[in-house]
């Protein structure tokens, strides 16, 4: 049961990564892999500040700001300096590895014992529900687990709604149009380069926020924790698109969250069934690979079928 709750909670937290990847890959069609570095940056910043007894809300906000800056840096390299987008992301990600080590001082730091958003959520949960342990259908759940699940769910609903509204404002519409047709957007007086920079900033801000939440959820920050983040986010987005389609912004956002939760559940089940945790990233990469080539393969199959039926 706590495995299930944990998977759901992680799924909600990782939806922030999915939403970030959705902004860069889908809205801007920009293959941004800064995420691997910016998620760790978020975790490192939050953990470091928490260890110095900074208020958890402030520490988490600082993580968002750090990720935002990293994203704008990638965007600036790609637009103002005309560096290939993939390479710009690699450069920033690589640079961040050292920066993250500097922030943390070593490769792994624990925040257990500090007050974090997790302890906040637990205290609030206990205050509201007035019990320390729940019993749901015969399963024992700690107040911590339940509070974290509810809190992460509420936060992701809020984030999704804010994002949905934002992308329909004048600024958000201009950003979506930039990803769609930058020639047109320039002809309508929008500085498309600034839109990309800002968009990547928001994307990596969300991803760093996820990093900060993960650090507080699992109680530590690790310099390696961001590896594979882009692929996880992409897997969630792809699952979401398969679930709800791509026609509408609201659906896409909901889909990315659902994809992330479903993906975490699948991972939890696979691990339970004996998948070696070391193989997790390989399996994820294979999954994304298959999902990316599937539409093309299906088309080819259809053409072959048509040809054979004509023959």
Residues in touch with other proteins (CB under 8 A): 166, 168-171, 173-174, 176-177, 180-181, 183-192
Our CB check for other proteins shows the closer of 187 and 273 to be 187
Instruction: Provide the minimum distance between the beta carbon of 26 and other proteins in the complex, in angstroms, as a whole number.
Output: 10
Our CB check for other proteins shows the closer of 113 and 245 to be 245
Our CB check for other proteins shows the closer of 189 and 274 to be 189
CA–CA dist 126, 118 (Å, integer) = 12
Our CB check for other proteins shows the closer of 65 and 177 to be 177
Instruction: Provide the minimum distance between the beta carbon of 217 and other proteins in the complex, in angstroms, as a whole number.
Output: 31
DSSP class of residue 1? -
Instruction: Provide the minimum distance between the beta carbon of 248 and other proteins in the complex, in angstroms, as a whole number.
Output: 10
Our CB check for other proteins shows the closer of 119 and 173 to be 173
The alpha-helical segments, DSSP class H, found in the chain are 2-21, 35-51, 56-79, 85-104, 117-129, 143-166, 170-180, 182-187, 192-218, 229-244, 249-272, 280-310
Burial of 97 (0-12, 13-18, 19+ CB in 10 A): middle
Q: Can you say how many angstroms the Cα of residue 29 is from the centroid of all Cα atoms in its chain?
A: 16
Q: Are 70 and 125 in contact (CB under 8 A)?
A: no
Instruction: Provide the minimum distance between the beta carbon of 171 and other proteins in the complex, in angstroms, as a whole number.
Output: 5
Instruction: Provide the minimum distance between the beta carbon of 165 and other proteins in the complex, in angstroms, as a whole number.
Output: 9
Task: List beta partners, residue 134.
Answer: 141
């Amino acid at each position: 049961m706590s495995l299930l709750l944990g998977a759901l909670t992680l799924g909600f937290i990782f939806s922030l990564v999915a939403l970030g990847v959705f902004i860069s890959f889908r809205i801007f069609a920009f293959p941004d892999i800064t995420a691997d570095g910016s998620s760790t940056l978020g975790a490192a910043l939050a953990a470091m500040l928490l260890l110095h007894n900074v208020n958890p809300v402030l520490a988490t906000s600082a993580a968002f700001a750090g990720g935002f800056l990293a994203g704008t840096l990638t965007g600036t390299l790609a637009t103002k300096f005309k560096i290939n987008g993939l390479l710009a992301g690699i450069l920033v990600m690589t640079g961040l590895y050292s920066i993250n080590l500097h922030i943390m001082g070593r490769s792994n730091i624990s925040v257990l014992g500090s007050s974090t958003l997790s302890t906040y959520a637990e205290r609030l949960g206990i205050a509201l529900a007035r019990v320390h342990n729940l019993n749901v259908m015969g399963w024992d759940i700690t107040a911590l687990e339940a509070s974290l699940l509810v809190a992460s769910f509420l936060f992701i609903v809020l984030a999704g709604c804010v994002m949905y509204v934002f992308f329909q404002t004048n600024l958000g519409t201009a950003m979506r149009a930039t990803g769609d047709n930058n020639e047109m957007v320039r002809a309508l007086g929008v500085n498309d380069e600034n839109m990309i920079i800002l968009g990547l900033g928001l994307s990596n801000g969300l991803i760093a926020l996820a990093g900060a939440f993960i650090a507080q959820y699992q109680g530590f920050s690790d310099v390696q924790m961001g590896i594979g983040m882009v692929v996880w986010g992409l897997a969630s987005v792809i699952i979401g698109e398969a679930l709800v389609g791509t026609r509408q912004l609201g659906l896409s956002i909901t889909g990315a969250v659902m994809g992330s939760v479903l993906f975490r559940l699948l991972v939890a089940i696979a691990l339970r069934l004996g998948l070696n945790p070391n193989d997790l990233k390989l399996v994820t990469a294979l999954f994304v690979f298959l999902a990316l080539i599937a539409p093309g393969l299906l088309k080819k199959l259809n053409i072959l079928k048509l040809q054979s039926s004509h023959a």
